A and B are shown apart, each in its own frame.
Chain A
């Protein structure tokens, strides 16, 4: 069965510092992977997705993520944090061949705080 683990339920960085949010997946086949962001009192918005093309994926708002099969990881990074990046971030996996195709499995989320 697929699963997603996000290390750290809460990450705090200073404005201008590197953002690194960790995501590890468990899947028997190379999955599709997604990062979503949720601002307070809002729904989820797609940041980026990996669907077996380039392993380094660039998304919106300056975020990017790298798919590393050997590490079963899909960590989200941004070189320089901005106050507006404060939100909750969710990693999700989808199994291309499983019985629940299109069924996104979400991690528990990581809340990012940005200090001035």
Chain B
């Protein structure tokens, strides 16, 4: 399997549930990202991991908790979400260190999350 793979593709959860999104990259990259894509809003960068260390957290609510156990895997743990958290969550990875601004990101297909 190649590229960036996200599971599940679709997720419906209640506000009291706990769930996790998974991302796996087979590209040998060492930076991974979580983005949130809501309707009619720009893509929002949520978290960045470089060499398995979190280097950026863009003021994301604590109900979103990332985990990067190794350079190939990234998780987003979800708990007590709100309906406004419903969105497409995209994982991405890139080559080189986080400082390599000229390297493009490779995206997974996303997880469509609906909070009811």
- The interface of chain A, by Cβ under 8 A from chain B, is 32, 34, 36, 41-46, 49, 51-52, 90, 94-96, 100-104, 106-109
The interface bits of chain B over 13-33 (1 if a CB of A lies within 8 angstroms of the residue's CB, else 0) are: 000000000000000000100
Name, among A41, A45, A107, the residue most crowded by chain B CB atoms within 10 Å (CB to CB): A41
- 8 residue pairs A–B, Cβ–Cβ below 8 Å: A49-B104, A95-B101, A96-B102, A101-B98, A102-B50, A102-B97, A103-B45, A103-B101
| Contact A41 B109, CB 8 Å, known A46-B104, A100-B56, A103-B56 | yes
Collect the chain B residues with CB atoms within 8 Å of residue A90's CB.
43
Closest 8 CB pairs of A and B: A43-B107, A106-B43, A51-B102, A94-B101, A44-B107, A101-B99, A101-B101, A43-B109
The binding surface of chain A is classed by DSSP as: loop
> Is B100 an interface residue when CB atoms closer than 8 A count as contact?
yes
| Contact A102 B104, CB 8 Å, known A43-B109, A90-B43, A107-B42 | no
Number of chain B residues close to chain A: CB under 8 A: 29
The binding surface of chain B is classed by DSSP as: loop
Chain B nearest CB from A106 CB (Å) reads 4
Chain A nearest CB from B49 CB (Å) reads 11
Chain A nearest CB from B90 CB (Å) reads 6
| Contact A94 B107, CB 8 Å, known A43-B4, A108-B41 | no
The interface bits of chain B over 84-116 (1 if a CB of A lies within 8 angstroms of the residue's CB, else 0) are: 000000101010011111111111111010000
